[in-house]
Amino acid sequence: MYKDSNYHLPVLYREAIETLSIKPNGVYVDCTAGGGGHSSGIIKRLNENGFLLAIDQDPEALLVTRKKLESLRDIKAQYILVQDQFSNIKEILANSNITKIDGLIADLGVSSYQIDTASRGFSFQQDGKLDMRMNPKSKMSAFDFVNNASQEKIAEVLRKYGEEKFANRISSNIVFQRSQKTIRTTYELVQIIKQVMPARSRREQHPAKRTFQAIRIYVNQELAEIEKLLDALPDCMASGGIIDIISFHSLEDRIVKRIFQKWENPCTCPPDFPVCTCNKKPLGKRVNTKGFVASQEEINRNPRSRSARLRVFKMN
């Protein structure tokens, strides 16, 4: 069970809340409610005409968010919590009778609590059941993938989502070891990875880091979820609406950067055309084209923030 004490202030919290430019009577969405950090920061700035929609696919996260919001004093705005994937944003808004939103935040990736809870199976540093599902009711777990996928598929996933250069070695050993014994725990998988990793690579970083990242992304279809969310958002945002996306690794950030650039400059005419003939108009503009990163002070306080980047887009 989630406990509020397991959560710290979300990374880039100040930057995220400030860039949302929250209007007291606005409608806002927290796509990744987690422990309610961003949600509480938003709702504190809303009046009785404001509205917050908090989404998370993890039911335990929503329980903590609910308790967090219920504990806040002098909250006037209304709010609802929805357990769902944020890629279903259009359906969620329609079901909530919301037509347009003034701001949205998505804090991508796995939460600190999920990583730190051994029973969720996300961590290569704690022993637990091999799982990695953000939604515990999802059909495929890391256990299913590791014990049933072909060697070729495992190698492909490790290369694509983990950028793991030893993908072939690792996938080969996984298939061999599972033929001897079902792989059930995170530590069993870690040992299988360590067996085939060169000593130098083991010294540079934890040998299982990239493999665990890759499997987690694949099991939860994280990159596809981000693409679907961003594809849907232009139809959901009010004029002047703000989109905040916090990513934690280059695969996520590349997607956000590419789509924000496309929104800002959608023209598909050849570069040598003197006049645009495609008539595709910019949807808005990026706020700080390089994005926001954590200060050294925040990194010292929360090492996880070192890899975080906040990208912000303001709609026309």
How many Cβ atoms from other residues are within 10 Å of residue 277's Cβ? 11
Chain length of the chain:
316
SS3 of residue 110 by DSSP: coil
For the cut 50, the answer to whether the pLDDT of residue 50 exceeds it is yes
pLDDT tens-digit profile of 156-180? 999 999 999 999 999 999 999 999 9
Both structure tokens of 116: 């730190």
Phi (first) and psi of residue 296, to 5 degrees: -60, -35
Both structure tokens of 284: 């808005």
Q: Domain residue spans in the chain? A: 4-112+223-315, 119-219
Both structure tokens of 118: 């051994």
State the Cα–Cα distance between residues 11 and 27, nearest whole angstrom: 23
For the cut 80, the answer to whether the pLDDT of residue 155 exceeds it is yes
For the cut 50, the answer to whether the pLDDT of residue 278 exceeds it is yes
Overall fold of domain 119-219: DNA polymerase; domain 1 (1.10.150)
Residue-by-residue DSSP string for 229-272: HHHHGGGTEEEEEEEEEEESSHHHHHHHHHHHHHHH----S-TT
- List the Cα angle 177/182/188 in 5-degree steps: 65
What pLDDT sits at residue 191?
95
Which CATH code, of 3.40.50.1370, 3.20.20.120, 3.40.50.150, 3.30.70.1230, is assigned to 4-112+223-315? 3.40.50.150
For the cut 60, the answer to whether the pLDDT of residue 2 exceeds it is no
The answer to whether 312 touches 242, Cβ cutoff 8 Å, is: yes
For the cut 90, the answer to whether the pLDDT of residue 122 exceeds it is no
DSSP state of 182: -
Q: In sequence order, which residues have a C-beta less than 8 Å from that of residue 60 and are 6 or more positions away?
A: 1, 2
H or E, element range at 184: none
For the cut 60, the answer to whether the pLDDT of residue 251 exceeds it is yes
- Of 228, 293, 285, 238, whose CA–CA distance to 262 is shortest? 285
Comparing 15-24, 70-79, 149-158, which segment has the lowest mean pLDDT? 70-79
State the Cα–Cα distance between residues 202 and 24, nearest whole angstrom: 51
**pLDDT above 90 as % of the chain:** 72
Beta bridge partners of 107: 246
State the Cα–Cα distance between residues 98 and 94, nearest whole angstrom: 6
11-to-7, 8, 18, 297, 310 alpha-carbon distances in Å: 11, 9, 13, 12, 9
Comparing 76-80, 91-95, 197-201, 241-245, which segment has the lowest mean pLDDT? 197-201
Q: In sequence order, which residues have a C-beta less than 8 Å from that of residue 104 and are 6 or more positions away?
A: 28, 29, 30, 31, 233, 236, 237, 241, 242, 243, 244
